Amino acid sequence: MSCMSLAKELKELEAQGIDLLEILGKDRHLDSPEALQKIISALSCSDDNLYVELLFQLTWRRFPLEEAVRIWAAITEHKKELEKTLEREVGFRVAALDYLFSVEKILQGVRLVARAEFESILTFVNIDEVTGVHSRRYFNERLGEELGRARRYSHPLSMLIIDLDNFKQVNDRCGHVEGDSVLRKVGRMLMDTTRQADVVCRFGGDEFAVLLPETGSEDAGRTAERIRLAAADISIPGEDESGNVTLSIGCAAFPESCDEAEEMLAIADQMCLDVKRAGKNGVRIAPA
């Protein structure tokens, strides 16, 4: 079972004051075992896979399932030994770092970074430096998360693949500096014409993608058309109004036209390609 949405779910639990790493590490306790089991059952993966994600959040390394389960058990025992030796309580995070650094020596050159600074670094990593929208890496992560959530709660999810028409000619005629300026304007337009809950990314050189949570194909088609029309207000350097940006947009929707992330990407990309072949500057939605 996919755990791609688990990281965000754990963050949402933390916002509610429920830190599963501390709870499963025996640093804190809920009111009853039933309350803990209810929370775990609501997550988008099995109990064992939960250890994979918790260790990933702690170390930024993703261990294989069996290895993660073994390491978690070893850290738990190490925590007990530390508490016995020191004659005081030891937090699970402290025991985990001590075990992984001193006992198994899995982690080397550990450097402590406060959460706020770490999340700031992640934000920088996840943003495309040219356009200011999200990177493809971040988009791929969110696609897995949102698809897992859509599947679990029986909600729709749509994706747009957006290609700038004839953009190579812009770079060839105006240069890459002006080309990057056009890409930035398109990125800003996409952010302005989508919701805060939507995920906009630069998917390739002149290609963008938009993830639309809780959105079926009909509403996604309307969003795509709004984006296409807004692009007409973006001028290309050295051109008159007839030389403004045009877009070819393909759309795929879960569960109407696809079941998996890779299938959604492939179908949306194919719809975009169909628009290109049909003359560009249009929207095509995958049939159900």
The answer to whether 163 is a known catalytic residue is: no
Among 165, 206, 259, 274, the active-site one is 206
Q: For the chain, how far is it from start to end, CA to CA, in angstroms?
A: 25
Catalytic residue positions, numbered: 206
